[in-house]
Structure 1
Amino acid sequence: MTTMDARSGRTGDTEESPEGDLTIRQAEGNDLNDVIEIGHRTWPVIYEPIAGIDYVAMGLAKWWTSDVVAASIRRGQTLVAEVAGDVIGMVAFGTQGDHFVVWKLYVLPEHHGKGIGSQLMEAVVERARDYGHARITVAYPDGNSYAERFHRAHGFVESHREPSGSGLPDTIWMVRELGPADEVSAGAAGEVT
C-alpha cells in the first residue's frame, strides 16, 4: 500500500501493524543515519559475546558505513520499521546469483519482543515473491542463538555451514522455501531479533 505518513511527510510503501503505530516502509536517503545507528547499537550487543570486539569493529567498518548503507537504500533494498517517526528496525536484502538473500535484519534492543523483526521478515518475504523468487536465504555466525531461533520460527532450515577461519565462528546458511501457500506464523515464536 502506498501512503503518506502525516508525522514525517514521507511517502512510500508501508504496512501498519495491528496496533497502528508501527510502519514498515521503503528506506529513503533521510533514513541513512538511523539505519547506520541501528547497526552500531545492535552489533556490539549481539556479536561481542560471540566473536569479540575486533569482529564487531570489522563488521561495522565493512557493512555499516555510509557508502554501503546508502547504496542499499538507493537500490531499493532496505526497508525500515518506524514508530512515531523513529526508525527502530531495518532489513536489507538483495540477490546473490539466483538467490534472494536477507543480508541484515536488526531491531534496536529496547524494541525486542514486540514482533517488529517478524513484521520486517514478512515484508521482505513479500518482496521476494514480488521479484519472483521461490526461496530466501539468510546467514548468521554460529553462536547467535537469537538469529537461529528467529529464522527457524520463520520457516528457515539450515542448508550448510562455511568455516570462517582465524578463530571466528562458522557462518550458518539457512533457506526458506516460498510456496504459494507459504503461511509461517510469525508470531508463533516470539521476537528474538
Structure 2
Amino acid sequence: MAEATSAPAVTVRRGTVDDIPAFRALGEAVVPPTYGPIDAAYAQRMLDEWWVAEVFEKSLARNTHLVAERDGQLVALSSFGRLSRSYRDFPYVTGDREVMWKLYVHPEHQGLGIGSRLLSEVETLVEGDELWLEVVDGNDHAYDFYLAHGFEEVHRVGDRAWPDDIWLRKRLRDGSR
C-alpha cells in the first residue's frame, strides 16, 4: 500500500477565462479516446464546436466551472448551470433544470477519485433538489460512474445523425429543506 503522502494533493477551485487553454488541452486528451470509438465524427464535432475558446467564454459567463489541479496542472473540469442559461437549445426538454454539462478527468489521472470529488463539489453547489446530465450512448464508463453515484436514467434522445443522448437525474434533497 502506497503512503498517502506519495500522491500529489488535488485542489479544487473555480475555473476562469485564464484556464481556457488548459480546458482545450484537457478536451484534446479526453475526447478522442472517449468518443472516438463510439463515433469518430462526433468526437471531432465535440472538439470543433464545444471545446473552443468562444464557447468556453460564453459558458464561463453563464455557468459555474470547477477545476481540479495536481502539482499546478489542470487535470479535471466540471461545469454546471441552469438549462435556461445554456448557449445551446434543447427543444426536446421541457421545463428548467440544473444540468452538469461537463465532468472530465484527464486519462492519466483517472481512477484517483478526482471525478467523484468534483461531482460531490458540484452537488453541494447546485441550487435545486435535482442534478441532471447527459451521457452519450456508448460511453459506458461514464454511464456506469453516474449510476454508481446515485443517478438514474430518465430518457433517451436521438436524431439518428449522432449517437443518442441519455439524460440522467439524481435527486439531491427531499425538497423539505
With the length of structure 2 as denominator, give the TM-score of the two structures: 0.84
Give the structure 2 partner of residue 90 of structure 1: 77
Tell me if 1:63 matches 2:50: yes
What does 1:62-141 correspond to in 2, within 5 Å? 62-75=49-62, 77-97=64-84, 98-128=96-126, 131=127, 133-141=128-136
2:27 maps to which of 12, 26, 39: 39
Contact preservation (8 Å) 1:36, 1:69:
no
Counterpart code for 2:48: A
Structure 1 stretches of at least 4 aligned residues deviating more than 3 Å after TM superposition: none
| Distance change >3 Å, CA 112–CA 20, structure 1 → 2 | closer
Q: How far apart are 1:61 and its partner, in Å?
A: 1.2
| Distance change >3 Å, CA 122–CA 47, structure 1 → 2 | same
Mapped to 1, the partners of 2:47 and 2:75 lie a distance apart of 18
Give the structure 2 partner of residue 49 of structure 1: 37
Counterpart code for 2:77: M
Structure 1: give runs of 5+ residues left out of the alignment. 1-18, 182-193
Contact preservation (8 Å) 1:32, 1:66:
yes
Supply the RMSD in Å over aligned alpha carbons. Answer: 1.7
Give the structure 2 partner of residue 157 of structure 1: 152
Mapped to 1, the partners of 2:166 and 2:62 lie a distance apart of 26
Mapped to 2, the partners of 1:64 and 1:48 lie a distance apart of 15
With the length of structure 1 as denominator, give the TM-score of the two structures: 0.77
